[in-house]
Structure 1
Amino acid sequence: MNVSRARLHLGIAAAGALAAAALVPGIASADPADTDSARLVNSTCSFAQIDAAMHDVTPRLAARLDQAPERKAQLADFFSKSPADRQAVLDSHPQLKTRLETVPTEGPAVEWRAKALTIADTCGNY
């Protein structure tokens, strides 16, 4: 996977609050109620709100997602589900769940995670 594709994947995962550390090794969060994946699963934001927040917080990543309509549709589909259904999706993909629960400690993923958390914290304003 090349660097730009990794950032796109990372940003998509991050968009929901989400896990900017998805592709970079780090230290797993100790509190399962406060993991990035829990924030993703329990978000009350619609995809439209997350997309608007992403365009505000990280416009370059949002533009790249706009150029990947299939991935954008997958993300929209994920956020159209109930929290229980979102959890089921994560439970059926343990590798993704592990990546989402990994907190980066160094490298560019730290910045991406911060942006993802900003999106999660502000998406309700859109």
Structure 2
Amino acid sequence: MIPCRAIGGFAIATALGLVTAGPASAQPAGPLIETTCSYAQIEAALQVEAPEASGRLAERPNAQAKIQELLALPIDQRRQRVKSFMDRNPDVASMIAQKRNTPEGQDKLMTMQRIADTCHNY
């Protein structure tokens, strides 16, 4: 059984458009892991680009706090934090990889890319 904290991490990783390239040991990357936008800018772009996801995030203060904490870090430290989480939770990494390859996962990645591309407008 996967711990609840790991599921929360999965939700956060998914929300951040996390993708892992190659083997599990590869450095994580993704449109929102590498953004230079603030949390407020991401939140505003999310409201426009994905209002349903924005609503779900609004109902999860713990997830909001984790995302704010992650986005406050420099990009290299974000990558390291996500990599450490994935290394400790290989089941979560596997779920993300499986989800990423589905049509729904691809749609989410495209939405996260749009958010990353437009967040500087907010």
Deviation sequence 1:17-71 (CA, Å, 0-9, x none): x23xx7xxxxx646xxxx9724333211111111111011000110110010011
Instruction: Select the residue among 89, 112, 115 that pairs with 2:111.
Output: 115
Matched residue pairs, number? 108
| 2:89 corresponds to 1:93 | no
Give distance in 2, aligned partners of 1:97 and 1:73. 21
* 2:111 maps to amino acid: K
Give distance in 1, aligned partners of 2:73 and 2:58. 21
Partner residue, 1:39: 31
Change (3 A) 1:14 1:53: farther
Change (3 A) 1:93 1:13: closer
5+ residue gaps, structure 2: none
8 A contact 1:42–1:83 mirrored in 2: yes
Partner residue, 1:77: 69
Change (3 A) 1:125 1:36: farther
5+ residue gaps, structure 1: 23-27
| 2:28 corresponds to 1:13 | no
* 1:123 maps to amino acid: C
| 2:43 corresponds to 1:51 | yes
**Larger relative CO (CA 8 A, sep 6+): 1 or 2?**
1
Change (3 A) 1:110 1:36: farther
Q: Give the 3-state SS of the residue equivalent to 1:39 in structure 2.
A: coil
* 1:50 maps to amino acid: I
Partner residue, 2:53: 61
- TM-score scaled by structure 2? 0.68
